[in-house]
């Protein structure tokens, strides 16, 4: 794959991660076609790119047939609801974008002779029986639970991607993304980072489920974008974990947010009463041995630095 002057399609290009990918590829001198239907994406995330000579935007649902005029060197499929709030509100579109959307984008990559990169997720591991989770772990997923619409959509997408690689010879890459945070996250998307920051900035109690004993590993978005960029250019076909292996409890994270925001908020332990918490993983930590070996990648941004930038972003939006 050539290194310069690529023309790339980024689906979900107006989303949290997709918009940062647009920025990165443009900064590297490439041409970007972004595609989004705004079901969870935000036009404000790409407003600064409108008018850029190497940027164009197509409003489209990738679960329908995709047409992109001209050559493409790479297709990065990042379109999907990605938080429990979103995929519980849009369960069928979530399943469609993981199945039909993956099929359509793979078909486009095949027709264009483009390299294909699938945004998968640590959720393919479900509620894991092993910790940390290596790429060789097959997961512990409830296929008929409320989170199954997202987990199984991504597992199917991985299977479809590998089928296109093995049967059609499409150059494919799969990134398994662990918890990522940073500017352009939606304030109300239901994930723990914007939830806690918004509550702290408003002086409200931080609501913590399950006693806050469940663990997560948080990576700043710039580290993830770097890992994805390296993976696209690598020769690795099988999935690669990209995440921060520093594991902490949700209670520890809540305490860090309160401290970083200088908030007077208290921490309230509450009993979950809705389906967003059903099958919530008790632990989540990536084994990044493969990313270190294959990509020469590991996270660089510590929690204090990343949280400071994320809190600054949210201050004007609460």
Q: What is the pLDDT of residues 286-303, one digit of tens each?
A: 999 999 999 999 999 999
> What is the pLDDT confidence band of residue 195, given thresholds at 50, 70 and 90?
very high
Q: What is the pLDDT of residues 227-271, one digit of tens each?
A: 999 999 999 999 999 999 999 999 999 999 999 999 999 999 988
> What is the pLDDT confidence band of residue 190, given thresholds at 50, 70 and 90?
confident
Query: Does the annotation count 65 as an active-site position?
Result: no
* Domain parsing of the chain, residue ranges: 7-181+220-245+286-301
Query: One of 87, 116, 150, 164 is an active-site residue; which one?
Result: 150
Say which residues have a Cβ less than 8 Å from residue 282's Cβ, sequence separation at least 6.
127, 210, 213, 214, 215
* CA dist., res. 193 & res. 216, Å (int): 11
At the top level of CATH, the class of 7-181+220-245+286-301 is alpha beta
pLDDT at residue 277 is higher than 70: no
Strands (E), 157-214: 172-177, 180-181, 206-209
- For residue 190, give Cα distances in angstroms to 147, 148, 277: 14, 17, 11
pLDDT of residue 255: 95
Q: Which residue is listed with tokens 């908030």?
A: 263
């Amino acid at each position: 794959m050539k290194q310069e002057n690529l023309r790339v399609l980024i689906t979900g290009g107006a989303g949290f991660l997709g918009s940062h990918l647009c920025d990165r590829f443009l900064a590297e001198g490439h041409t970007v076609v972004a595609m989004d239907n705004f079901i969870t994406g935000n036009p404000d995330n790409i407003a600064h790119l409108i008018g850029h000579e190497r940027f164009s935007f197509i409003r489209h649902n990738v679960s329908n047939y995709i047409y992109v005029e001209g050559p493409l060197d790479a297709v990065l499929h990042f379109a999907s609801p990605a938080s429990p709030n979103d995929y519980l509100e849009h369960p069928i579109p979530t399943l469609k974008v993981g199945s039909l959307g993956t099929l359509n984008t793979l078909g486009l990559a095949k027709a264009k002779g483009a390299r294909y990169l699938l945004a998968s997720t640590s959720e393919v591991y479900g509620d894991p029986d092993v910790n940390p989770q290596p790429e060789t772990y097959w997961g512990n997923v409830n296929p008929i639970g409320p989170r199954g619409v997202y987990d199984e959509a991504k597992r199917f997408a991985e299977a479809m991607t590998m089928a296109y690689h093995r049967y059609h010879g499409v150059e494919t890459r799969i990134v398994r993304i662990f918890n990522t945070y940073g500017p352009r996250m939606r304030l109300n998307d239901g994930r723990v980072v914007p939830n806690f920051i918004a509550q702290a900035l408003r002086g409200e109690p931080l609501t913590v489920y399950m006693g806050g004993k469940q663990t997560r590993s948080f990576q700043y978005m710039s580290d993830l974008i770097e890992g994805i960029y390296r993976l696209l250019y690598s020769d690795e076909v099988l999935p690669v974990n990209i995440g921060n292996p520093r594991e902490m409890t949700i209670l520890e994270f809540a305490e860090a947010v309160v401290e970083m925001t200088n908030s007077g908020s208290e921490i309230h332990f509450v009993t979950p009463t809705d389906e967003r918490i059903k099958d919530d993983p008790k632990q989540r930590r990536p084994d990044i041995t493969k990313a270190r070996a294959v990509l020469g990648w590991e996270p660089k941004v510590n929690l204090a630095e990343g949280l400071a930038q994320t809190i600054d972003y949210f201050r004007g939006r609460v």
